[in-house]
Structure 1
Amino acid sequence: IDTDIMGGTLTQERKDDMVKDLVVNRVGNTRDIAAAIHYFIGEDSGYVSGQTLNVDGGLYMH
């Protein structure tokens, strides 16, 4: 996830290299994490329990 905590250590070239390993073809951002949190705190997840959600652009699939 591309956040300011990385202190700008990822160059555009490195991001482009990382994207090659992702199913979604882009580096994740904080909005992606927020969307997952929104799902889990919302009514739509009312019957979901004991799950692990990998918000990683499909990297885990490889």
Structure 2
Amino acid sequence: MVIMTVKTKEFLQKHKLDIPEDLKHLNNLLDILDDMMLNSLGSEYEPTEATRDIERVYDDLFYSNFE
């Protein structure tokens, strides 16, 4: 079972991302979130507010499940 906060679950549902049921599929979701972060960078490749939101979700999933 994948561990996450309520805010992370809400973010994933809002962006219509599949919530993995096991760690095997969590890596796929982390790859998608990584792509989303890269696509959300500003014109000078600086982080935007959207980047920070995605980063929080990524960190929650990673540190709650792989540490």
With structure 2 as the length reference, what TM-score do the two structures score? 0.32
Bigger Rg, structure 1 or 2? 1
Which is richer in helix?
2
With structure 1 as the length reference, what TM-score do the two structures score? 0.34
